[in-house]
């Protein structure tokens, strides 16, 4: 169903921001680092291949980003889409930000973009009735698939 989710719910939460360098961020989930932003796999994904684009600099508001961060966030988002298309052939994408707790942000103190691949029928009765997501592949397998694409240094 959602492997590891109960561990997150019941477990101790790390101190500080989990997206900042030098923090408790999951280094083995990082797929690419740019100059001002990076791409990481969502540890608790909505679907297989759910990625996050995150600026290195700690901030929570879009208006705090500088021109380089804005540009690189969009370039890395496009890189995510391109590589997810190659790796998993999704039929569509949800791309966006949840700014603030009331908007659904699980981590509301560090700006990030969600890139969620979608397939026809990937939302089924378990999501609607039980508020449960079914992830068809474990995160380690997804990472192994994606690394082949993110390790290639193609021009954007």
The verdict on whether 112 is a catalytic residue reads: yes
Q: Do residues 84 and 117 touch, judged by C-beta distance below 8 A?
A: yes
Residue 2 maps to a domain: no
Give residue 129's pLDDT: 42
How far apart CA 148 and CA 31 sit, in angstroms, is 10
Catalytic residue among 32, 50, 110, 112: 112
Residue 156 maps to a domain: no
Residue 47 maps to a domain: yes
Closest CA to 116 of 156, 78, 81, 71: 81
Give residue 126's pLDDT: 47
Residue 64 maps to a domain: yes
CATH number at residue 67: 3.30.428.10
Q: Whose structure tokens read 């999501």?
A: 127
Q: Give the residue numbers spanning the domain of 134.
A: 27-150
Predicted TM-score (pTM) of this structure: 0.80
Residue 7 maps to a domain: no
Is 38 strand, coil or helix?
A: strand
Closest CA to 143 of 29, 1, 3, 19: 29
Residue 70 maps to a domain: yes
Give residue 125's pLDDT: 47
Residue 112 maps to a domain: yes
Q: Do residues 90 and 112 touch, judged by C-beta distance below 8 A?
A: no
What total of structural domains would you count in the chain? 1
In tens digits, what is the pLDDT along the chain, a chain of 156 residues?
455 556 656 666 667 788 887 665 677 899 999 999 999 999 888 889 999 999 999 999 999 999 999 999 999 999 999 999 999 999 999 999 998 889 888 888 899 999 999 998 876 544 544 455 566 678 888 888 888 888 866 554
Give residue 78's pLDDT: 98
Residue 1 maps to a domain: no
Give residue 53's pLDDT: 97
């Amino acid at each position: 169903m959602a492997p590891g989710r109960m561990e997150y719910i019941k477990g101790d939460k790390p101190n500080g921001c989990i997206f900042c360098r030098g923090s408790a961020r999951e280094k083995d989930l990082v797929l690419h680092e740019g100059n001002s932003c990076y791409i990481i796999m969502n540890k608790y994904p909505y679907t297989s291949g759910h990625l996050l684009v995150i600026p290195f600099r700690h901030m929570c508001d879009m208006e705090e980003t500088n021109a380089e961060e804005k540009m690189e966030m969009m370039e890395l988002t496009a890189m995510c889409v391109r590589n997810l298309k190659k790796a998993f052939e999704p039929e569509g994408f949800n791309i966006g930000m949840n700014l603030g707790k009331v908007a659904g942000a699980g981590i509301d103190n560090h700006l990030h973009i969600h890139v969620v691949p979608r397939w026809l029928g990937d939302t089924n009765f378990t999501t609607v009735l039980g508020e449960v997501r079914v992830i068809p592949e474990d995160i380690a397998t997804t990472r192994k698939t994606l690394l082949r694409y993110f390790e290639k240094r193609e021009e954007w």
